Amino acid sequence: MTSPLNDSPLVFFSFVTLEGAGPEEHHAYNEWHQLDHRPENLALPGVAWGDRWARPVEYRGGVASDEHAPTDYIAMYWFNDPVERGLQEWSDLGEDSFQWGRGPLIPGVRRKLLSFYRPVKGYAAASALVSPEVIPYRPNRGLHLTLSRHAEHHSGATHEHFTWQDRSLIPALLDLDGVAGAWTFSFARHQAHPSLPLATETADAPGSLRIRLVYLDQDPLPTTEAIEKTTAELTAELSEEAVASEEVLLSTPLRTIIPWQDW
């Protein structure tokens, strides 16, 4: 089965914190993003797909660096070729939205990560029936996300870690109840919006950051427990050098946002 994601060369991730926000602020932000910003983005010819998820308080038991511990929401968009044209349309929409008085510069919204990643590989569980390229379009109940840094990103230890993920860890995760599929992504560059003050200032080399998304079709919390247990057990297969090559910045379940019901 083919999909627009077969040829998607680039993906954008946004990690958002609503500082000091109460229920009213979360309501307003979700309403804006789900009913205004995301539909406008999905209508762009250069955007193949996009989705977003919530990280409520009860989902925060995993590993998190100081920078990413407060993350409330994560969004992603897949881009079509020609990617530069798609990115220009996307950037223009951001500026247009500001001129319309419809965001994206909203008081209290802090975007701790605004970055582009290259899709590495997709996986689908046999139970999902669909191909890996269709998994992002398939309805899900949430994700398990891992953001890691590999400082020596072309070292033998990092290569061993990537091999282990592809041949041991992810196949084992696909066998778990509640796991529909997975995708991995390699860092390309941080966003520097041409007109709006939207950027990530951290200096990271291409390939030094990695994101693994595990798509879930059962309750994210118990499924995350199974994912963490399996990951801990299989880590014993790695050398000490391979284990040390990965610095986990965020490992967390995320919940699918249901319009209106969740605000």
- Tens of pLDDT, residue by residue, the chain (263 residues): 566 676 679 999 999 999 888 898 899 899 999 999 999 999 999 999 999 999 999 999 899 999 999 999 999 999 999 999 998 998 889 888 888 988 766 777 888 899 999 999 999 999 999 999 999 999 999 999 999 999 999 999 999 999 999 999 999 999 999 999 999 999 998 877 766 655 566 778 999 999 999 999 999 999 999 999 999 999 999 999 999 999 999 999 999 999 988 77
The pLDDT assigned to 95 comes to 87
* 3-class secondary-structure state, position 133: coil
The vertex-4 CA angle with 127 and 33, nearest 5°, equals: 90
Neighbours of 25 (CB within 10 A): 16
Q: Provide the Cα torsion 102, 106, 111, 116; round to 10°.
A: 10
The amino acid sitting at 172 is A
Per the rule left: phi > 0, alpha: psi between -120 and 50, beta: everything else, 261 is alpha
Question: Which CATH code for domain 4-256?
Answer: 3.30.70.100
| Domain spans of the chain, in order of start | 4-256
- Cα gap 106→115, rounded to integer Å: 19
User: Rounded to two decimals, what is the model's pTM?
Assistant: 0.93
